[in-house]
Structure 1
Amino acid sequence: MQYGFWLELSLLNMIISVAWEPMGDGKRLISLADNHLLLWDLQESSSKAVLSNSVALEGKGQLKFTSGRWSPHHNCTQVATANDTAIRGWDIRTMTQIYCIENAHGQLVRDLDFNPNKQYYLASCGDDCKVKFWDTRNVSEPVKTLEEHSHWVWNVRYNHSHDQLVLTGSSDSRVILSNMVSISSEPFGHLVDDDELSDQEDHQEDKIKEPLQDSIIATYEEHEDSVYAVEWSSADPWLFASLSYDGRLVINRVPRALKYHILL
C-alpha cells in the first residue's frame, strides 16, 4: 500500500491516459504515466486505489507511452500500448509482453483502438498520416492501411455496434468516416436463413457471398483547426462527435443511406 501511494504521487504530473476495465464490475483501471503501465484496484472499503501490478519500459529510444487501450476480449487480460513508433501488447496478469510491433508507423504512434467484435484486431494511427489495422496473431505487416489524411492522425475509433465503421481525426482539420467492411465481423454482409430465401432471393444470396469493398463514406470539414478527438456515442450507434484545438465541438450522424444498407 505504501509503495503504491508513493508511486501514484511521484507520477501524478506525468499521467497521459486512464482506461477503465471494459467489462466486469468496474473496480479496475489502468493508467499510463511516463514509461509506467499501472494496474489499479478500487476497494469498496476505502477511498483509495491500490496498485496491484505495474511494469516499466526499459531499453533505448523514446520510452514514454503515448497511448493505451484495454482489450474487451480475452477476459480483459490484455492491454495494448504505444510508445514512439512501437505498439506493445501486455498480459496484465503477469505484466509480460505478449507481442511487439517495432515499427508500426514511420513516426510517432498517436492512438489505438480494439475492434469490439473481432478479438485479435487492433487499429492504430500516427504522425505518418496513416491508419493501420493489425491482426495481433501476425504482426509482421498490417492487414489494411489507410492513407486518406494529409497530416498527423490523432484518433482512431471503431463503432461499438458496427465494427466496419471507423472514425479518424487529424491535424489536417478533417474527420473521415470509413467503411472497413472487408476486415469487419460481417465481411460478406448479414447472414440470411435458408428457410427465408425464396427462389428469387437465391441469386441475391450468391451476390452477398463475395467480400464487400472498403470505402471512404464521408469526409467532414466543419473544423478550422486540428481535430484532436473523435468519439462514438455510447447511446446512439449512428451518432459521433469531434473536437478541435479551437474548442469547436461538432456532432454528426452516419449517412442515412448507409445506416439502412447496414441494417437491411
Structure 2
Amino acid sequence: MFAAAGGASVSSYQLPNKQARVLVALEGDTDRTRFVVGSTELKGDNEVHVLQFNEDTNEVVCLKAFAHPNEVWSCATCPAPEHAELMCTTYSTGSELKTSLWRMTGVAAAAAAETSTGPPPLSQLDELAQLGAAPLGEHLGVIWNAVLPEQIVELCRNRLSLVTLAHGAVSSSTAESAATAPPIEGKSFSCARWDPHHAHSLGVGCGGALLSIDTRSMKLAHTVAEAHSQRVRAVDYNPNKPYVVLSCGDDYAIRYWDLRKPSDALLSVKAHSHWTTSACYNRFHDQLVLSSGTDYLVKLWRAESVSSAPPAVDAEEPENPDGEADGLVKAFEDHDTSVFAVAWSAADAWIFASLSLDGKTVINHVPPAEKYKILL
C-alpha cells in the first residue's frame, strides 16, 4: 500500500504483505524518477512493482504492478531509452534459479494518478527470452552494459557469461559470445559492474578480491588481491574518474581504489556495524556515495578527497577548514529491518531510494545543506 512517511523530504511505499531484496532504478527513463521493486515471498505469489516519485507532492505511487513467477532475487533494467520497458530478473523456481528477459508493457505510457490507495490490478509480464538456469544459490543476476546496451553479463558464482541481445518487434534473441570461470582458485564470483568509461571492462568481486576483466578476451586487466577481508558485496565505478572504483563487503567497510595502483586503498571507511550490503556513487556528483547495511541503516557519505570535485581555490582560506572533505553526511533511520538495496534516481541527482527486507521502499533526498555545498 501507498504510505507517506513523516517529514518533509521522505515518503515510502510498502509492498503488500511481501518481503523484498531487489530495488533498481528504471535506467532507461531519465525524465522521471522511477524505481522497480521485486518481492521474494517464499510461500506466496510474487510481484514486480514500478514506482514513481513526484517531487512536487512528495508522494510515491505504484504505476504498474506485474505478476512474477516465484521469488525475485535479482533485477536489471535496460539503460537504453528506446527499450526502457525491458527488464531481466533472476528468480527461484524452488529447484533452480532461472533468468528471463521481460517486457513491462505499458510502463512507458503510464502516468501517476493524482491519488493512490494502493497498487493497480496485476498485469502480466511479456517473457521475451530465457537466458539460462543454474542450481539454487549459484546464479547472481544480470549486469547490463550502459555503454553497449546490447551486451549483458550473466553472473554465477562459478561462471560469468557475456551475452548479446537482439530485440525485435515481438520477440528477442540471445547469444552467448564468451565465458570464464573465477580466476582465483577456491574463490567464487560475488558481484559485478560494467565500467562506464571502457565498454569492454567489467569490475568483479571474487572472494575478498576486486578484479577487472577485459570481456573481449576474458582476461584479467587489474587485480586488487585483498580488497576486503571477507566477501565483496558490491563494486561501482566512479562516473567521472576512469580507473577509480569503490567496493564494499561483509567486513563492514567501503574502500576506494585506483585500479592502476592496487597496493593501497585511496580511502577506507567502516561504513556499517554489520554487513555492508550495497554501495554506489551518485551518477553526477562523485563525491556523494550511498551505502546500506544489515544494521537497518542507509548512509550518505562524502568522499571528496577521492572525487573529481575541484579543491578549494581561495588562497586566504585553507581547503576544507572544518575537516569535512570526507565523512558521513547523514545516517537515515527509516527502516526496521535489514536494508538490502539502495539506488540513485536515473532522472534526478538528489533523489535516492532504499529497500528493506520487509518490503518497505523509502524515497529520500540529499540534505539541502549538502546539495548547496556542491552547487554553490
Q: 1:258 to 1:35 in 2, by over 3 A?
A: same
Distance (whole Å) between structure 2 residues aligned to residue 127 and residue 58 of structure 1: 21
Aligned twin of 2:201: 78
- Inter-CA distance 208–53: structure 2 relative to 1 (3 Å threshold): farther
Preserved contact between residue 184 and residue 206 of structure 2 (Cα < 8 Å) = no
Q: How far does residue 186 in structure 1 lie from its aligned partner after superposition? A: 1.2
Aligned match of 1:67 in 171, 175, 191? Answer: 191
CA gap 1:164/1:112 in 2 versus in 1, 3 angstroms: same
Instruction: For 1:32 and 1:148, locate their aligned partners in 2 and report how far apart those are by CA, in whole Å.
Output: 26
Q: Aligned ranges for residues 238-249 of structure 1 at < 5 Å?
A: 238-249=350-361
The residue type equivalent to 1:43 in the other structure is: A
Comparing both structures, which one devotes a greater share of its residues to strand?
Answer: 2
Which residue number in structure 2 is paired with residue 192 of structure 1? none
CA offsets 1:95-150 (integer angstroms, 9 cap, x no match): 10112222211111111111000011110011111110010001111100011311
Q: Tell me which of 179, 202, 205 is aligned to 2:314.
A: 205
| Deviant stretches of 4+, over 4 Å | none
Q: Report the Cα offset of residue 187 of structure 1.
A: 4.0
- Contact conserved, 2:351 with 2:364, CA < 8 A, in 1? yes
Q: Kindly indicate whether residue 186 of structure 2 is the aligned counterpart of residue 57 of structure 1.
A: no
| Structure 1 residue 59 displacement after superposition | 5.3
What number of residue pairs does the alignment pair up? 241
Is it true that 1:224 corresponds to 2:341 in the alignment?
no
CA distance in 2, matches of 1:262, 1:208: 18
Q: Whole-Å Cα distance in 1 between the matches of residues 254 and 187 of structure 2?
A: 21
Give, in angstroms, the shift of residue 156 of structure 1. 0.4
2:277 aligned with 1:154: yes
- Cα RMSD for the two superposed structures: 2.1
Q: Is the 8 A contact 2:182 2:206 kept in 1?
A: no
Provide the TM-score with structure 2 as the length reference: 0.61
Q: Compared with structure 1, are the counterparts of its residues 205 and 58 closer, same or farther at alpha carbon in structure 2 (3 Å cutoff)?
A: closer
**Using the alignment, how far apart are the partners of 2:200 and 2:257 within structure 1?**
19
Aligned partners of 1:77 and 1:47: how far apart in 2?
22
Query: Where does structure 2 lack aligned partners over 5 or more consecutive residues?
Result: 1-130
Say which SS state the counterpart of residue 315 (structure 2) adopts.
helix
Instruction: Tell me how far apart the structure 2 counterparts of residues 188 and 137 of structure 1 sit (CA, whole Å).
Output: 23
Unaligned stretches of 5+ in structure 1? 1-7, 190-203
Q: Could you say what secondary structure the match of 2:172 adopts?
A: coil
Q: Identity, % of aligned pairs?
A: 38
- The 1:247/1:213 distance shift into structure 2, 3 A limit, reads same
CA deviation string 1:45-93 (max 9, x = no partner)? 6722111111112553232x1100000012x110011121111110011
Q: Deviation per CA, 1:194-227, whole angstroms, max 9, x where unpaired?
A: xxxxxxxxxx732578366212110111111111
Secondary structure (helix, strand or coil) at the match of 1:149 reads coil
Question: C-alpha distance in 1, partners of 2:275/2:347?
Answer: 29
For residues 17 and 223 of structure 1, the distance between their equivalents in structure 2, rounded to whole angstroms, comes to: 25
Alignment-mate amino acid for residue 32 of structure 1:
L
Contact 1:188 1:208 in 2 (8 A): no
TM superposition shift of 1:241: 0.6
Deviation, 1:167, is: 0.3
Shift of 1:15: 2.3
Q: Name the structure 1 match of 2:72.
A: none
Distance 1:101-1:223 versus aligned 2 partners, 3 A rule: same
Of 238, 243, 253, the residue aligned with 1:120 is: 243
Deviation per CA, 1:158-212: give whole Å up to 9, x if none. 00010000000001111110111111111415xxxxxxxxxxxxxx732578366
